[in-house]
């Protein structure tokens, strides 16, 4: 208790002493500071000097139209005098909507670049009180040396932007600019198109029309939508999201690292201004989007109805299978072929495993498959029902892969879209921002709905091809003695793969970027491989690739594509090129020797024995086949060499190019060998071939003229952005989706109908190639 009394007594006597000392110190401090109050005028530039003993209060009246033309305050240090400034000049502005402040020199933290002038627009909040009739600009510093500065207050011209009004201006890292747009005109959705003549990096932001405005590099990410821009940028916004209007904010970066990958164009831009132009144009609204979608769906339904009603296989010709007589052989083979006894029968209770166990003796197989003149009847000894079941395994394997592959893909892309909607960071997804129409369906908002919807063509034509295959399968009457065995399992798998390509491509376009590019290509690999297997199976019914092995190889291919996207070094390319050329040679040998060529430790011995014993070892047994396969191998070698010097885009695109080129080569090989064998190409297959070539050429034109590129940075990708080219809703890539879907369908129809000319031809006269 005595300690408490002691401290109270001491504190009571000490308090007056400390109070008097503080008053004396404050009086001395205030006596050194000379506040200067001035009332200044707009558009006049004033020069003043300041130090630690002087502070300025500049007063400006608000103009009557300050909402349409808000004040802009610019303060500049006289650089030639103030190069060695240690203590900065502090600028504080109090206005109707709040308080803003900055300092000069303005130092960018990451690059440590100093700016000796800065300008800011005062936020004209519509909800702010009009009681504050003056703008108060306070300037102070702790510098002992005089700092000379210039102050200018003017108004921001063309602040309230109108539709179709071109606005041009300059800005720098310390002088951000923003404008206001209101949806008072008849446009519920508008496109903001930004262009620039230089490649200086900046951030474009769309913010609510409320104060404060985040117009610095540190704060611009706090509100609204944003994207980095070098030369081109664009955002489509709707009235529903910004009913009271929006601010269009431009902030220049101090270097270009945010807009370019690697060290390209990375440079300091401390004294460089950027010239920017932009225009706001009306774009299609929700009702027009629905109309566009309904038009496309109606056209596709009409195509399906028309095809279903008018597509009929030649039933009358097929019924002749039981009565037609064997025709004289017109094939390139003239050697007689032993016919299979007619009395061979199979136990219907045998399953696939049972039939596979009952293998023919290897010497008999080698004898048949190495004849100079080999016909389809020689390679169609197995039970048709078993081969049909094996063929159906491709479909069931594809469905299994599709289910397990698509579910996590859908979850991932929906999460990416949700992150984009929540953060507003439009650099996450590589859209064509000049033609990306958003659509809100319940709780989900899709930022690029037109690129998602345009994949409906793949799904539709995939299902249509399945329908045509089913109708054909139900119509054709199978007879082992005539034509080529009809196994439709691969056709069903091809149609399903085409439909899945549409689904996966749609998922990819929810938020396209380098992390999910393989979603768009995986089923293209499957389509190419299934098509090549089908071409081979046509003339080699018994030599059928195992479905499980095929999808295992496809899994390896997809892994290769993933590794290639993550690491594109020279080592990977060298290893892949060796693997690619080796596989090309091996497959060529399999095609040349009808699947009987083996690569093992005895291969060199067999080759040497052939060279020593054969009468003409350098003369090919099948010259036509040898020439065509040699051309194919030379083209593959040319692709590998060309890719080393001229990159075909990323590794995934190169891999897909290899698949498509080899598919075209194999189909061409098949058609040429068919013509050499004096077989005909009927009217409908010929029409499908011509139409497929026309549509592929047109689709490749639109594919080459791309509107985005995920291999670059987000800002670089926007330099490819183009306005909508069709119905004000679809761009070049959407047209590529539609045309390529038709092209793939026509290509499938070529494979389905190419051998219709040999339907009634005895299988003993149909050559194998």
The predicted-structure confidence for 629-678, as pLDDT tens digits, reads as follows: 888 889 888 888 887 777 666 787 888 888 999 999 989 989 998 998 88
User: Residue 326: which pLDDT band, with cuts at 50, 70 and 90?
Assistant: very low
- Residue owning tokens 């899709």: 446
Give strand pairing partners of 193. Answer: 234, 279
* Terminal CA-CA length for the chain: 114
Give the Cα separation of 246 and 238 in Å (integer).
Answer: 10
Is 385 a member of any domain? no
Identify which has the larger pLDDT, 270 or 94.
94
Which of 586, 616, 649 is the C-terminal boundary of a domain? 649
Residues 6+ apart with CB under 8 A from 617: 610, 611
Q: Which residue from 505, 504, 513 is spatially nearest to 565, judged by alpha carbons? A: 513
Task: Flag whether pLDDT at 340 surpasses 50.
Answer: no
Is 347 a member of any domain? no
pTM of the model: 0.83
Joined together, the tokens standing for residue 720 give: 């490819």
Task: Flag whether pLDDT at 696 surpasses 50.
Answer: yes
Q: How confident is the model at residue 600, as a pLDDT?
A: 66
Q: Is 98 left (phi over 0), alpha (psi -120 to 50) or beta?
A: left
- Among 7-21, 220-234, 453-467, 692-706, where is mean pLDDT lowest? 7-21
- Among 167-171, 418-422, 571-575, where is mean pLDDT lowest? 571-575
Identify which has the larger pLDDT, 185 or 117.
117
Mean pLDDT (whole number) for 267-277: 72
- Cβ-count burial of 543 within 10 angstroms (0-12 exposed, 13-18 middle, 19+ buried)? middle
Is 105 a member of any domain? yes
Q: Are 202 and 274 in contact (CB under 8 A)?
A: yes
- Among 59-68, 460-469, 707-716, where is mean pLDDT lowest? 59-68
Strands 160-161 and 177-181: parallel
How large is the C-alpha radius of gyration of the chain?
38
Task: Flag whether pLDDT at 401 surpasses 90.
Answer: yes
Is 58 a member of any domain? yes
Give strand pairing partners of 36. Answer: 56
Q: Which residue from 287, 108, 286 is spatially nearest to 201, judged by alpha carbons? A: 108
Count of domains forming the chain = 2
Is 506 a member of any domain? no
Which of 649, 680, 711 is the C-terminal boundary of a domain? 649
Give strand pairing partners of 249. Answer: 178, 205
Q: Are 97 and 123 in contact (CB under 8 A)?
A: yes
Supply the DSSP symbol for 730: B
- Domain with 68, as residue range(s), is 30-154
Domain at 38, CATH number = 2.60.120.380
Is 68 a member of any domain? yes
Task: Flag whether pLDDT at 397 surpasses 60.
Answer: yes
DSSP per residue, 208-271: ES-SSP--STTTGGGSSEEEEESSEEEEEEETTT-TT-EEEEEEE-SSSTTTSSTTTT----TT
Distance of CA 453 to the CA centre of its chain: 14
Which of 603, 623, 649 is the C-terminal boundary of a domain? 649
Q: Are 589 and 572 in contact (CB under 8 A)?
A: no
Q: Which residue from 728, 46, 743 is spatially nearest to 435, judged by alpha carbons? A: 728
Q: Are 764 and 331 in contact (CB under 8 A)?
A: no
The predicted-structure confidence for 564-614, as pLDDT tens digits, reads as follows: 877 777 788 888 888 888 888 888 887 777 666 666 677 777 777 767 776
Q: Which residue from 431, 484, 543 is spatially nearest to 764, judged by alpha carbons? A: 484
Question: Mean pLDDT over all residues of the chain?
Answer: 81
**φ and ψ at 190, to 5 degrees?**
-135, 155
Q: CA angle, corner 178, sides to 172 and 182, nearest 5?
A: 160
Handedness of CA 350, 356, 361, 366 (dihedral sign): positive
Mean pLDDT (whole number) for 321-350: 43
Supply the DSSP symbol for 375: B
The predicted-structure confidence for 39-84, as pLDDT tens digits, reads as follows: 999 889 999 998 888 899 999 988 877 777 889 999 998 865 556 6
Is 393 a member of any domain? no
Give strand pairing partners of 73. Answer: 120, 153
Q: How confident is the model at residue 380, as a pLDDT?
A: 73
Is 96 a member of any domain? yes
């Amino acid at each position: 208790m005595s300690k408490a009394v002691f401290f109270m007594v001491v504190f009571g006597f000490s308090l007056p002493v400390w109070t008097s000392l503080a008053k004396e110190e404050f009086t001395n401090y205030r006596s050194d500071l000379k506040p200067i109050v001035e009332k200044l005028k707009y558009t006049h530039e004033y020069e003043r000097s300041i130090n630690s003993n002087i502070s300025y209060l500049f007063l400006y009246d608000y103009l009557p139209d300050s909402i349409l033309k808000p004040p802009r305050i610019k303060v500049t240090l006289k650089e030639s005098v103030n190069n060695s400034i240690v203590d900065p000049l502090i600028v504080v502005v109090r206005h109707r909507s709040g308080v803003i402040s900055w300092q000069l020199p303005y130092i960018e933290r990451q690059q440590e670049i100093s700016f000796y002038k800065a300008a800011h627009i005062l936020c004209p909040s519509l909800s702010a009180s009009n009681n504050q009739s003056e703008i108060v600009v306070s300037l102070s510093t702790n510098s002992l040396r005089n700092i000379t500065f210039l102050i200018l207050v003017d108004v921001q011209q063309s602040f309230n932007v109108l539709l179709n009004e071109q606005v041009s201006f300059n800005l720098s890292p310390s002088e951000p600019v923003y404008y206001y747009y209101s949806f008072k005109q008849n446009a519920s959705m508008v496109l903001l198109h930004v262009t620039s003549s230089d490649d200086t990096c900046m951030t474009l932001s769309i913010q609510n029309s409320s104060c404060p405005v985040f117009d610095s590099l540190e704060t611009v990410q706090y509100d609204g939508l944003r994207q980095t821009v070098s030369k081109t940028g664009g955002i489509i916004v709707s009235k529903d999201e910004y009913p009271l209007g929006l601010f269009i904010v431009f902030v220049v970066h101090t270097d270009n690292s945010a807009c370019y990958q690697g060290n390209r164009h990375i440079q300091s831009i401390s004294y460089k201004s950027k010239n920017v132009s932009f225009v706001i144009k009306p774009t299609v609204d929700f009702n027009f989007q629905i109309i566009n979608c309904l038009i496309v769906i109606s056209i596709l339904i009409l195509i399906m109805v028309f095809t279903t009603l008018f597509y009929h296989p030649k039933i009358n010709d097929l019924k002749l299978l039981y009565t037609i007589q064997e025709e004289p052989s017109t094939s390139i083979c003239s050697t007689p072929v032993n016919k299979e006894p007619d009395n061979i029968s199979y136990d219907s209770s045998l399953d696939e495993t049972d039939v596979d166990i009952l293998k023919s003796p290897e010497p008999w197989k080698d004898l048949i498959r190495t004849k100079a003149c080999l016909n389809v009847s020689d390679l169609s000894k197995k039970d048709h029902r078993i081969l049909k079941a094996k063929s159906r395994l491709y479909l069931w394997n594809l469905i299994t892969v599709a289910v397990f592959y698509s579910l996590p893909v859908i979850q991932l892309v929906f999460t990416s879209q949700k992150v984009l909607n929540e953060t507003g960071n439009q650099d996450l997804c590589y859209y064509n921002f000049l033609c990306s129409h958003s659509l809100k369906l319940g709780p989900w908002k899709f930022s690029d709905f037109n690129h998602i919807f345009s994949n409906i063509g793949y799904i539709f034509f995939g299902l249509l091809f399945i329908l045509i295959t089913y109708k054909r399968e139900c119509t054709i009457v199978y007879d082992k003695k005539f034509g080529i065995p009809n196994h439709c399992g691969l056709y069903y798998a091809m149609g399903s793969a085409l439909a899945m390509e549409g689904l996966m491509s749609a998922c990819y376009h929810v938020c396209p970027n380098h992390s999910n590019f393989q979603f768009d290509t995986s089923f293209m690999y499957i389509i190419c491989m299934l098509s090549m297997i089908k071409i081979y199976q046509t003339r080699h019914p018994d030599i059928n690739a195992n479905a499980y092995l095929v999808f295992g190889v496809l899994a390896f291919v997809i892994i290769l594509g993933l590794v290639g996207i993550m690491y594109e070094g020279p080592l990977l390319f060298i290893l892949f090129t060796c693997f690619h050329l080796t596989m090309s040679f091996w497959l060529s040998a399999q095609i040349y020797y009808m699947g009987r060529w083996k690569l093992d430790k005895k291969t060199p011995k067999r080759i040497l024995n052939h060279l020593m014993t054969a009468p003409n070892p350098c003369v090919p047994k099948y010259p036509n086949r040898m020439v065509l396969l040699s051309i194919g191998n030379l083209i593959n070698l040319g692709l590998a060499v060309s890719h080393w010097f001229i990159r075909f885009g990323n590794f995934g695109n190169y891999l897909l190019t290899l698949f498509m080129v080899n598919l075209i080569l194999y189909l061409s090989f098949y058609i040429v060998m068919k013509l050499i064998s004096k077989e005909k190409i009927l009217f409908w297959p010929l029409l499908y071939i011509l139409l497929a070539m026309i549509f592929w050429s047109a689709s490749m034109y639109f594919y080459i003229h791309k509107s985005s590129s995920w291999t670059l940075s987000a800002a670089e990708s926007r330099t490819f952005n183009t306005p909508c080219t069709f119905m004000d809703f679809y761009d070049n890539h959407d047209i590529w989706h539609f045309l390529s879907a038709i092209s793939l369908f026509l290509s499938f129809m070529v494979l389905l109908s190419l051998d219709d000319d040999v339907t009634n031809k005895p299988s003993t006269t149909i050559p194998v190639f």
